[in-house]
Amino acid sequence: VAERPAASLVEHRRGRVRWLASGLLESAGVRHGFTTRAGGASRGAFAGLNFSSREGDLPERVRENWRRIESAAGLPPHSWALLSQVHGARVEVVAAGAAACHHRRGHAEADAMVTGRPGVVLGVLTADCLPVVIAVPGAGAVGIAHAGWRGTVQGVGAAAVRELCALAGASPRDLVAALGPAIGACCYQVGEEVRAAFRARWGARAVARVFTGRGPWSLDLQEANRLQLLGAGLRERSIESVPLCTACRRDLFYSYRRDGRRSGRMLTFCTTADGG
């Protein structure tokens, strides 16, 4: 059994805004982050640093939250590439960024993006689903995926790896990956139809590794995506998971499972832009 690296979570703080990062990716020079609720302008059900107004938050507060993370993390404005996330496995190749957009209309329908264009910031929004950041260190090529159970079973992470390798002329063994905060197996009970979907596409052995219980089943989304990245050719030591459950940590994260429809969204970003 190959050894798994100890997670090296990094916490960034600028004023009241706090975001997390993978120590593994930072030491490889990959600029990225996973936001927390801390330091946001939103109130009520959306209290904190919420990046979507589609669930009912006030657009001006959400715009202010985008401004705050750009300022705190030193991200260039008008450089964002965002998606209309649809729980599939399509990967968008991004050529240019634009101003941050709080409502997520008019974006490409996809659940992953890759880019080799300097200065572009890729962003996905989540509230339990798993954000996956991948990069080719030193090559100025990054990718990001949004993986709920549907995207995971369809292989969105592996699809992003293939596109990034094609774009950068890299091998999967050159890539590093971080699996961000997501709902943990502790809180993610799913029905038989979810397990059946995995069994049909992944086989019984993989199912035994990512589901526990006897119906309802508990799904370990991070482990499912870690196995998928290993299957795509990444090295074990090049993958790091942030060991925090979005549903358990109300203080840090929004959770759709815990809070229902009126809940905020965290932002995961990664960028080819130079540090600012």
The residues of the shown chain that bind Zn ion, judged by CB under 5 A, are 184, 186-187, 245, 247-248
Cβ nearer to Zn ion, comparing 93 with 187: 187
**What minimum distance in Å lies between the beta carbon of 254 and Zn ion?**
14
Cβ nearer to Zn ion, comparing 186 with 208: 186
Cβ nearer to Zn ion, comparing 97 with 184: 184
Rg (CA), the chain: 17
How far, in Å, CA of 218 to CA of 198, rounded? 13
Beta bridge partners of 33: 269
* Residue labelled with tokens 């080719």: 136
**What minimum distance in Å lies between the beta carbon of 128 and Zn ion?**
10
Cβ nearer to Zn ion, comparing 186 with 196: 186
* Residue labelled with tokens 């957009």: 101
**What minimum distance in Å lies between the beta carbon of 247 and Zn ion?**
5
Helix orientation angle between 156-168 and 221-231, rounded to the nearest 10 degrees: 40
Looking at the chain, list the stretches that DSSP marks H as alpha helix, in order from N- to C-terminal side.
23-27, 59-73, 149-154, 156-168, 192-202, 204-210, 221-231, 256-259
Cβ nearer to Zn ion, comparing 126 with 272: 126
Q: Which amino acid is at 31?
A: R
Cβ nearer to Zn ion, comparing 222 with 268: 222
Cβ nearer to Zn ion, comparing 36 with 65: 36
From first CA to last CA, the distance across the chain in angstroms is 41
Phi (first) and psi of residue 142, to 5 degrees: -135, 160
**What minimum distance in Å lies between the beta carbon of 246 and Zn ion?**
8
**What minimum distance in Å lies between the beta carbon of 137 and Zn ion?**
31
**What minimum distance in Å lies between the beta carbon of 245 and Zn ion?**
3
**What minimum distance in Å lies between the beta carbon of 77 and Zn ion?**
35
**For residue 86, is it left (φ>0), alpha (ψ between -120 and 50) or beta?**
alpha
For 207, the token pair is 């199912």
DSSP-based three-state secondary structure for 111: coil
Asked if the peptide bond before residue 216 counts as cis, ω within 30 degrees of 0, the response is yes
